[in-house]
Chains A and B, each alone.
Chain A
């Protein structure tokens, strides 16, 4: 059984050989590639703490068999900041107290980045909450999370308009 795969992770191409077909993307990132930002909460697709982007789209990495994603381009929380400059969504979570304990935060932020790229929610807080329902926060920081997503979205869109002008 050939268990070698190629992934582009946070812009860097990686050739990986697995010794076991059961490895999920989450376990590959955390246990074998030392990218421990993505968190293992439930490991069953219910909490969203493991959310990453595959080809720019948010998915639960705990329910993704790594070998099946051969050829994929992946973004994790480690790939968002530009050096010391935080991604607008990261900054907005700080500005709006979008967390307490922080365990769910990488997943929340990756989910928010995916949500903003989907461009379905607009400025409607109800749509943002609905679109973030796959990310559970047991500290209950939902109010700050929603505000952070809306604020980050506004700043990203203002930045795009500036760039276009």
Chain B
């Protein structure tokens, strides 16, 4: 790990000013950042420690019914907040499907949005990586790339966005609140992360010094609470990143899907909302056939970036199944294995 200057600001204004200097990085829990620094993947010259700032730790319901989650709220605190988990169960399920209990107790909401890819070439300073060192090339192209992206990738980068949490946030229309030198602004989560294009090193829309202060879920997202699930397929049942995952939320009235929300994880270079699939589902009666059609639509633009063509078929099956799980209803209690395909499936759900 390189030596760095440690700065502990006492206000957001101080933090933003300190982090505006080139080479600065914000420190939340550091569960990802310290790991990257130990590997020499990132070498910030200054760490601006946000963890002692007041007022970034709240989970509140605003007067308009939206939920506002402070950037420093721990993943576990959010997942186990009874009111929040009742209104947005798919977010709780995705959080509990990610990492380990220890990491969830430390990792923050803002940090989750800022986490870096687990691409092994990005994480190995001896490999060529346009994301880590612009212009050096991409060793993942033509390398070991079975876990890489089938959606949103470019010839410069095929790395997957690793977050589980961001998947339901994308589906439910979350808003990211940002503070910077010029004041506050808001960005929809689906616009917060950038496609790699020819600048994969620029992963988010944050400008120098800008920080996440909160994530908001709009009030209308709570209308999906009765029918929402997260499903995650991975190489072991627990404590592994997704090969393919999906968050589904349905508003069902009189046996008809009035509105659907769907987003994908583990298959794309950013949290991936599947709006074409959502449009197909609206107005339909829940059923295997329409779920499979929606799955086709969700992956219509997918193409392998290497030895990962299987992810397209796998991803479609995950989508069809998570829609069936959501249609069957949000479970009364969090499943013992959150988001797992090995958990007992609800009555009426057939394997797809």
Contact = CB atoms under 8 A, between A and B. Distances in A.
Chain B binds chain A: yes
Interface of A: 1, 3, 20-22, 24, 43-45, 48, 51, 54, 57-60, 63-65, 67-68, 70, 111, 114-115, 118, 120, 124, 126-127, 129-135
Contact of A63 (B4, B29, B80, B338): B29
A114 B34 contact: no
B226 interface: no
Q: A-side binding surface: helix, strand, loop or mixed?
A: mixed
Given A1-B5, A65-B30, A134-B100, 17 more contacts: A1-B6, A21-B3, A21-B47, A45-B103, A48-B102, A58-B102, A59-B102, A64-B30, A67-B6, A67-B49, A68-B27, A68-B49, A127-B336, A130-B337, A133-B100, A133-B237, A134-B239
Contacts of A51: 102
Contacts of B105: 54, 57-59, 114
A148 B4 CA distance: 43
Contacts of A63: 29-31, 34-35, 103, 106
B185 interface: no
Contacts of A43: 38
Contacts of A129: 238
B223 interface: no
Nearest to A120: B80
B51 A68 contact: yes
B337 A58 contact: no
Contacts of B27: 65, 68
Q: Which of B1, B6, B31 has the most CB of A within 10 A?
A: B6
Contact of A21 (B6, B76, B238, B239): B6
B38 A44 contact: yes
A27 to B, nearest CB: 11
Contacts of B102: 45, 48, 51, 58-60, 111, 114, 134
Contacts of A68: 27, 30, 49, 51-52
A104 B80 CA distance: 27
Nearest to A115: B101
A20 B1 CA distance: 11
Nearest to B99: A134
A59 to B, nearest CB: 4
